[in-house]
Amino acid sequence: MRERELIVYKDFGKEEGSLLQDMAWLMEHYKDGDGNKEEMACLMYDCIHRLLEMAGNHGFYGNLWHCYLSNLLVNNENSYSKACEIRGRVQGTINRAVLHDIVIFKEFFDYDFGDMVRTLSVEGFDLITHFVGSDEESKVYNSRIRERICALAVKFTKNHTPEEMKATLTGFYKDYGVGKFGLNKAFRVVHEENQVKIIPIRNIAHVYLEDLVGYEIPKRKLIENTEAFVEGRRANNCLLFGDAGTGKSSSIKGIANAYYDKGLRIIEIYKHQFQDLNEVITQIKNRNYKFIIYMDDLSFEDFEIEYKYLKAVIEGGLERKPDNVLIYATSNRRHLVREKFSDKEERRDDLHASDTVQEKLSLVARFGVTIFFSAPDKKEFQNIVKVLAKRHHIFMPEEELIFEANKWELAHGGLSGRCAQQFIDYLGSIKK
């Protein structure tokens, strides 16, 4: 086989690419008269083993060889796949190079292993051609991504020509993207081997904006700004502030779920990682997705200086923040840098006291949109409880429900949407 002739689709990674190389070698040499059939059979069994392990890790089912090849194609970030992500077909000579590679991949897809299996006397090959998976969540992909890749593998088998296969793959890039940014909604930043890496978050909470009862005005402001962003119009960095438990973080999760199909991705970063912000932005600025860099529960003590990194990135550094990046933060504080009454005493000795105040307040000013989430009053809290009870199929007399909810909030943190949800979860745990 011709895997060495690939032009665009190369560099699959050592572990991912080795299986392709081993299978290609067997396809070329299993008929060699002077070859050691026993060693070839052992290699074939090893390939079967790796495909079964892949099925367990990725959650694949059906023809595992086809799923493996499809997985290589949807994760290979090259000049063509990155140009097609979210946008679709592109023009230029690159299409000829890609078609050259797809011809080779179609040969792999259409390969008949029957003669190889008989020649090497390999048993159990049908395990990987008709694999039935379990319902358990995979270690690598959630069920949504797994289904898309398995469905793509089936579509490829129905493509009669390399041109059709290329069109199917390009359509996948347009609909879902490529690589980790295409297949995942949310990410975190980690350090590995002195490198800043953006790692997918596999199990993002399935929170939707319509699940959040109340807070219609704050949600509308957030939606309007986010929709402008994903549609390529001018949008602002957002600060969501207010009382604890009022849905600020849940609103961000809801945004991630609502606009994923329009190319929105969320990257969560913590305060101690702000010095990595420039590197994170460098890695994402030339992609076709829209990225929200998300900072949860953001605040600074007066002795912490990390806010200066954030100020420079948002607005103030020499390099302009890319158009495909926004900063969204949540905080219980309206002014992110803590101020104390003792600061006023210190300012009496400060020759430029107003400059000191402005330095601390200027971070908030860099968020063009500030959205206030206030704690609900008693009536709003009771309405949230009633709506949540109905959604979770908890049926009890309304007077009893409200009486128990009032008792719960007095003992569990006061009036908030979070408190209401915790009360409903409690009722669900005791009701049979």
Same domain assignment for residues 355 and 235: yes
Given this model, what pLDDT does residue 367 score?
82
**Strand stretches in 185-276, DSSP E:** 186-192, 195-200, 238-242, 264-268
The segment with the largest mean pLDDT, out of 165-179, 185-199, 312-326, 344-358, is 165-179
Three-state DSSP state, 330: strand
The answer to whether residue 228 sits within a structural domain is yes
The answer to whether residue 190 sits within a structural domain is no
Which of 135, 152, 182 represents a domain boundary (last residue)? Answer: 182
The model's confidence at residue 148, banded by pLDDT at 50, 70 and 90, is: very high
Same domain assignment for residues 155 and 101: yes
The answer to whether residue 192 sits within a structural domain is no
Same domain assignment for residues 145 and 267: no
Supply the CATH number for residue 334's domain. Answer: 3.40.50.300
Given this model, what pLDDT does residue 137 score?
64
The answer to whether residue 191 sits within a structural domain is no
The answer to whether residue 188 sits within a structural domain is no
Q: What percent of the chain has pLDDT over 90?
A: 49
Given this model, what pLDDT does residue 259 score?
93
Any idea which residue has 């290589």 for tokens?
72
- Cα–Cα distance measured from residue 84 to residue 263, given in angstroms and rounded to the nearest whole number: 12
Q: Is the pLDDT of residue 27 over 70?
A: yes
- Cα–Cα distance measured from residue 229 to residue 417, given in angstroms and rounded to the nearest whole number: 28
Which structural domain, as residue segments, surrounds residue 416? 378-430
Given this model, what pLDDT does residue 153 score?
97
pLDDT: is 407 or 349 the higher one?
A: 407
* Average pLDDT score over residue span 149-166: 96
* Average pLDDT score over residue span 156-185: 95
**Strand stretches in 352-414, DSSP E:** 369-373
* Average pLDDT score over residue span 75-85: 95
Same domain assignment for residues 419 and 401: yes
Phi and psi angles of residue 194, each rounded to the nearest 5 degrees, phi first = 60, 20
Any idea which residue has 């080779």 for tokens?
104
The answer to whether residue 117 sits within a structural domain is yes
Given this model, what pLDDT does residue 344 score?
53
Which of 324, 358, 373 represents a domain boundary (last residue)? Answer: 373
Same domain assignment for residues 240 and 365: yes
Any idea which residue has 């605040």 for tokens?
299
Handedness of CA 147, 208, 182, 280 (dihedral sign): negative
The answer to whether residue 119 sits within a structural domain is yes
Three-state DSSP state, 239: strand
Given this model, what pLDDT does residue 159 score?
96
Q: Is the pLDDT of residue 163 over 70?
A: yes
Same domain assignment for residues 397 and 296: no
The answer to whether residue 77 sits within a structural domain is yes
Contacts of 389 (CB under 8 A, 6+ apart): 395, 396, 401, 424, 427
- Cα–Cα distance measured from residue 105 to residue 99, given in angstroms and rounded to the nearest whole number: 10
Same domain assignment for residues 316 and 409: no
Q: Is the pLDDT of residue 353 over 70?
A: no
Same domain assignment for residues 204 and 94: no
Same domain assignment for residues 153 and 281: no
**Strand stretches in 184-306, DSSP E:** 186-192, 195-200, 238-242, 264-268, 290-295
The model's confidence at residue 352, banded by pLDDT at 50, 70 and 90, is: very low
Q: Is the pLDDT of residue 134 over 90?
A: no
Same domain assignment for residues 18 and 141: yes
Same domain assignment for residues 64 and 26: yes
Inter-residue contact 63 to 151 (CB < 8 Å): no
Number of domains in the chain: 3
- Please state the pTM of the whole predicted model: 0.82
Same domain assignment for residues 30 and 175: yes
